[in-house]
Chain A
Amino acid sequence: KNEVEQSPQNLTAQEGEFITINCSYSVGISALHWLQQHPGGGIVSLFMLSSGKKKHGRLIATINIQEKHSSLHITASHPRDSAVYICAVRSTFGNEKLTFGTGTRLTIIP
């Protein structure tokens, strides 16, 4: 079993829909990260979370440490949000490294 599991693997939605991507992990962590990989391949960091909730524009990330679960929400989705969203964790030990999920491919149809 992978240390970091994401669901769904693929998600297609209509423009304007509310999007939720889930991430579960099995190890103790010091932080959880959400990243975005554009269709051209570039990877950028979106959020780092160790507790609670963070918001940036239309993106919201939440984490429940007790349940070892995080969600990434996108409100009022737009075709430019189409990308692969990747969850990654920094474990309590060896926390100079990230362990990555396999990603969720999101496609927003106009």
Chain B
Amino acid sequence: AQSVAQPEDQVNVAEGNPLTVKCTYSVSGNPYLFWYVQYPNRGLQFLLKYITGDNLVKGSYGFEAEFNKSQTSFHLKKPSALVSDSALYFCAVRDHTNAGKSTFGDGTTLTVKP
């Protein structure tokens, strides 16, 4: 079975500071990892993904994430947070042996204060 954990329900940072939203996963095979963002009153949007290759992946809006196989983590990061980054962030995993079924974390609410 595959699973995803986002240990923090809420992350608060000041504008201009770096931000990290944590995600750990568990799969039986090689993972495909995704981050999605949900802005207030809007649908989920894809941010970035790790499939294979370079452990550091870059995505939309200046976000990046680092795949760490030994720690089974895929933390989302941004060097300098913006107030407009305030949203609900979801990590998701797909096991290449599980025919495409995706498992999402419970989400982390990011609040960036001016």
Q: A and B: partners?
A: no
Q: Which residues of B contact A (CB under 8 A)?
A: none
